Every structure is written in structure tokens, then in C-alpha cells.
Homo-oligomer: A and B are copies of this chain.
């Protein structure tokens, strides 16, 4: 599931490998920094290497090409988002639909905000062709987790939990960037969370109460 470019997370063995790990991390962090300060367009391998304090050559020893670098960053972001949603769902497996809605929205926004610096740039990356697999992975995990939570909700029956989960996921992954950066003022994070929660709750309620014919 990881691509060859992220030798992260593996058990470290020797000092040599430790240094390698440190280097990879430095490059990784430098990428995020450059992304934040110069944007996707201003990002080039030389600049990343310089910011990481290594030479371009070294960069290419750990990441086969520029794409791999960006994928690694995007991957970590999406994995974090998916994990946050899964965690929220797991912790609310038998809760009420209302609570689930609130928990999921909160968890997603927390994770999103934690990387607020990069996320706009990441969305640019994610729209470039080959990131689909990554995005699919994240949304699939989200849909699965939310779907499972909906199916086991203590106070409601959903005719099609999967469809509802899909809609909520789409609203989350799609709405939030627009929410954060365009329509609502930057400081309105609180309000965004509140409104999203209301929207999700009432949407779920509608699905429970048979308002919709499906």
C-alpha cells in the first residue's frame, strides 16, 4: 500500500539507517515548508533540497522523482484524515446518529486544521492526475467507517447506509476546503463546524424519518 518512496515507519536497525531516516524526514518536512511558503508552483526540487539542508542528489536518493515527493506528503495528509474519521466512527459505533455526525465533523476538521498550512497546496496536488488512487483510498476508508457506524447506530435505521455515508464523505472532503478558504472568513472555523454539524444531523434525520422516498 505504501509506495516505494516512503521507507517510513519501519523498524530502524543501524546508525546508518537512522541517518537515512533523519534525511528522509528532513526532505519530507522541507517539502511541506516549501509548499506552504512558495506554493505548488514555486516548489522545485532544488529549493526543497536546500531547505532540507541536503543536496539535490541526496533528495533523489530517497525519492525517485518530484512526484514521489508530493505523493508522500499528500499520502500522509489523506491517511491522517481517514484515520481521524475511522477513529471517530469506532468510538461512536453504537451512539446516536446525532452524536456520530458531530463526532465525525469535529474529527475531520481537527485533522484538517492541524495541517492547515499545507492543505490548500495539497488540494492542488490531489487534482493532478495520478493522485486518484490516494484519494480513493481515503474516501473509501471514510465511507466504510461512516457506513458501519450508521448501520450500528443505536437510534436509527438507514435504508441505505452506504449511500448516506458516501454523501457525507463527499460533503466533508469537498466542502471543507471551500469552507475554509473562500466563503467563510478564515476565523470562522467554529462556525463552519457548527453549520456542517447541523447540516449533517438534519440530513441524517431526514434519512431516518422517511422524508425521502428512497
Contact = CB atoms under 8 A, between A and B. Distances in A.
B39 A183 contact: no
Given A170-B179, A182-B139, A198 B194 contact: no
B203 A183 contact: no
Interface in A190-214: 191, 194-196, 198-199, 201-203, 205-207, 211-212, 214
A113 interface: no
Contacts of A139: 182-183
Interface string A135-168: 1100100010000000000000000000110110
B214 A206 contact: no
A120 B131 CA distance: 13
A183 B173 contact: yes
Interface in A173-190: 173-179, 182-184
Contacts of A198: 203, 206-207, 211-212
A199 to B, nearest CB: 4
Given A132-B182, A173-B178, 8 more contacts: A120-B127, A123-B127, A135-B182, A166-B184, A171-B171, A173-B183, A198-B203, A199-B206
B167 A199 contact: yes
Contacts of A163: 191, 195
A186 to B, nearest CB: 13
Contact of A127 (B124, B174, B203, B207): B124
